[in-house]
Every structure is written in C-alpha cells, then in structure tokens.
Chain A
Amino acid sequence: MKNNLEKFRKELGVSQEELALILKVSRQTIGSLEKGQYNPSILLAYKISHYFKKPIEEIFIYEEGDQ
C-alpha cells in the first residue's frame, strides 16, 4: 500500500525516531511503513491519522490489488 507518511513527517520536521517514540512503535516500523513494505494495523493507522490530523485515506492510499 502506498502512503504519504514520509511526506507528512518531513512537513512537520519530525525524525523517524521521534515519530516512533510518539506512536510507541520501533523506528524500523516507521521505516518499513514509509517504504510501503509493511501495512499498519487499523489501530496504528488511526494513531498516525490522529497525530498528523489528517484522514487515514489521505495518508494511506489503497489501490485495487493491494494485499
């Protein structure tokens, strides 16, 4: 699944480490999310959406065929 996580994170000037600490996940998870290698749980997606104050669909872009 594609996402705009890196873009929004950089807009806020937050590092991966800082975002990981805020969301209470590992830094590697943030890295994987940004690369699109890992899709978050609905809970983490909500936390991310809440933190960036943007709707989930604006951060995570679902495309037909995504698994």
Chain B
Amino acid sequence: MIPNNIRKNKMALLFAVIITVVGLSILNLYRQFDFAGFVIGFGSSLSAVFAIRLFRNLNHPEQIEQEQIENADERNQMIIGKAGYANFRVVTILIAMQLVIYYFLRMQIPLMITFVVLVLNELSFVILRNRYEKKM
C-alpha cells in the first residue's frame, strides 16, 4: 500500500504539472505572455518542489515513517485546526477591508468580485463545519 504522504505528493505533483500545462496552453492559444509566464513559472516551481519531495521520500523509508507520524500527530492536527480557524478570520477581515477600499475608490467590478469572494469564503466555512459536525 502506498503511504499517504507519498500519495499526497504524487497528487500535488500531478496538480503542479497540470498548472504548467494550462499556462503553456494559454501561451499558445492567446499569446498573453505576462499571465501565461506567471502561470508556467508558478506551475514549474511547484512541480520541482513536489518532485524533489517525492523522490527524497522514496529513498528514505525512515523519513516516510517520521513524516507519517508528524502528519497524524494529534497535537499537530489541533494546532493546524486552530491556526486554520484564526487564518480564516484574518482572511475574512482582509477581504472586508478590500471591499471597503474598492467602495471608496468606486471600482464597481472589483467590488462585486470581492463581495462574491467574501460570500464564498463564509459559505465554504459553513459547509465544511456542517460536514465535520456530521462526522464527529
């Protein structure tokens, strides 16, 4: 059976490669170099990082075990949960601040997009909370 962290790294690598391919497709189709360049750069950096992690893990079984322990560690999970919730609150405040700035700058479209992002952010939190409430 493939350990969880290797599976995660494989999935992450696949995701990063897909981002790179999307960037290359944008470059080929629309010739919007700046944006495509950013996406390709981002995708390739992620691919490199996850490829290194994947091969490093495959060569050292003891590191795999240690990483699995770190991932499953109940204190680490609690820390991630608390930090994640605090981060959600911070992000909500930042999006709200952005909303106010766009309002005073009279930027209608960014204001609407930011508002949708704020609603989606809150909505995703409610959905995920309900999902975990049913599980526990």
Contacts and interface: CB of A to CB of B under 8 A. Distances in A.
Nearest to B70: A26
Contact of A38 (B69, B70, B75): B75
A27 B72 CA distance: 13
Contacts of B133: none
Interface in A18-48: 20-21, 24-26, 28-29, 32, 38, 40-41, 43-44
Contact of A44 (B70, B74, B76): B74
B73 interface: yes
Contact of B75 (A21, A24, A26, A43): A26
A26 B74 CA distance: 9
B75 A29 contact: yes
Nearest to A43: B74
Contacts of A21: 69
Residue among B72, B73, B75 with most chain A CB within 10 A? B75
Given A25-B69, A29-B75, 8 more contacts: A20-B69, A26-B70, A26-B76, A28-B75, A29-B76, A32-B75, A38-B75, A44-B74
19 contacts: A21-B69, A24-B69, A24-B72, A25-B69, A25-B73, A25-B74, A25-B75, A26-B69, A26-B70, A26-B73, A26-B76, A28-B75, A29-B74, A29-B75, A38-B78, A40-B74, A41-B74, A43-B74, A44-B74
